[in-house]
Amino acid sequence: MGHNYNELLQWKEALKKAQSILITAHTSPDGDAIGSSLGLSHALKAMGKQCAVVLPNRGAKFLDWMPGIDSITYYDENSNGVQTLIDASDLIVCLDFNALHRLGELCEAIENAPQPKVLIDHHLGEVSWPTVNLCQIGASSTCELVFDVLQQTAEKSSWLSLEVGQCLYTGIMTDTGSFRFHGTSPLVHRVAADLLEVGVKPNQVHEQVDDSFSDGRLKMFAHVLLNNTSFLCDGQVAYSFVSAKEYEEFNVMSSDTEGLVNQPMRLQNVRISIFFKIADDRIKISFRSKGDIDIQHIAAKYFDGGGHRNAAGGISFETWEKTEAKLKTIFQDFSFD
């Protein structure tokens, strides 16, 4: 990747000065957030650094197999412990987000921390808060960027291990939709090849991530697709929703909805899929699109969101009825040209 030479020098200097490094990522962490956090932590420990990973909350259960997952400290479960780790660090590395509010309840603690902050991310958006900015919008994933930054920092033999490989491969695989989304490049396949060479088994990662559904999660997917999914624009836009009712009925958690937004995209005619997670005080929204449809523009314009051309997120603080009506208005005269 084409990192700015001066930024890389600043990263190397900051890393050289630091002994205790804190790593964090966004709330409701996905495979890329957790994979990049744990992968970087394993690598830096191999290079002789002390590392701690802190996250706002837990991710999906199908990521609990990842090496090092038990070492993570979660702010919503142990805020005092997280603050102690922040205070003890001399460098903070922020991964897979570019707006500090994406840290949720952890935002204030990180924002107020006096330590230098390094940002490694691949999302759209201008940022000015990091001390060192290692963002590359064209990258497939933050895990790809972490690999690139590490290989420009030290010889691979000093940090690349099976544990690092498993973590980074998981993030790349999940953020590229198993190497099929728009950001999948020749370079990311070369990175994946390097990870396979240290022992990563793609079939094992796929089984852990994609083939580990609970009965309740599978039934919840089926229920949402059958009963909570509607279509707009002659079937070209699909939208689905889930609420606490489904969580209770199927004995699942909010994180078990991971991947649901992608399911309607399997239909030949569907070009946009939107998924709503209804909570008491807000509705979290996931967007997906095919081809050249810039879905992050819609997320940013109407739902205070952002992300990538074909994958984005947003939020609504209105009722479900008002949010659904707004969605229908947006797509009433929508042009796919």
Q: Which residues are within 8 A (CB) of 323 and not within 5 positions of it... i.e. 6 or more apart?
A: 276, 283, 316
Taking only the tens place, the pLDDT of each residue in 87-136 is: 999 999 999 999 999 999 999 999 999 999 999 999 877 788 999 999 99
CB 288 within 8 Å of CB 273: yes
CB 295 within 8 Å of CB 311: yes
Lowest mean pLDDT: which of 27-31, 39-43, 77-81, 136-140? 136-140
Q: Is the pLDDT of residue 4 over 80?
A: no
Percent of the residues in the chain that have a pLDDT greater than 70, as a whole number:
99
pTM: 0.91
Q: What pLDDT does residue 1 have? A: 59
Q: What pLDDT does residue 2 have? A: 61
CB 311 within 8 Å of CB 181: yes
Phi and psi at residue 310, to the nearest 5°: -105, 0
Fold of 215-330: Diaminopimelate Epimerase; Chain A, domain 1 (3.10.310)
Tell me if the domain spanning 5-209 has CATH number 3.90.1640.10.
yes
DSSP code for 55: E
Taking only the tens place, the pLDDT of each residue in 10-25 is: 999 999 999 999 999 9
Tell me where in the chain the CATH 3.10.310.30 domain(s) lie. 215-330
Q: What pLDDT does residue 194 have? A: 98
Q: Which residues are within 8 A (CB) of 114 and not within 5 positions of it... i.e. 6 or more apart?
A: none
| Amino acid, single-letter form, for residue 105 | E
Taking only the tens place, the pLDDT of each residue in 152-199 is: 999 999 999 999 999 999 999 999 989 988 889 999 999 999 999 999
Helices of type H across 133-185:
142-151, 162-175
Q: Sheet harboring 91-95: ordered strands across?
A: 73-74, 50-55, 20-25, 91-95, 117-120, 132-133
Q: Computed from CA positions of residues 28, 30, 36, 38, in that sequence, does the dihedral angle turn out positive or negative?
A: positive
Tell me where in the chain the CATH 3.90.1640.10 domain(s) lie. 5-209
Taking only the tens place, the pLDDT of each residue in 134-144 is: 999 889 999 99
Taking only the tens place, the pLDDT of each residue in 243-275 is: 999 999 999 999 899 999 999 999 999 999 999
Q: Is the pLDDT of residue 59 over 70?
A: yes
Q: What pLDDT does residue 112 have? A: 97
Q: What pLDDT does residue 182 have? A: 80
Residue of higher predicted confidence among 4 and 20: 20
Q: Which residues are within 8 A (CB) of 145 and not within 5 positions of it... i.e. 6 or more apart?
A: 1, 36, 120, 121, 122, 134, 135, 136, 139
Compute the CA torsion angle 152, 64, 23, 50 (nearest 10 deg).
-80
Q: Which residues are within 8 A (CB) of 72 and not within 5 positions of it... i.e. 6 or more apart?
A: 34, 37, 38, 53, 54, 55
pLDDT band at residue 315, thresholds of 50, 70 and 90?
very high
Q: Is the pLDDT of residue 149 over 70?
A: yes
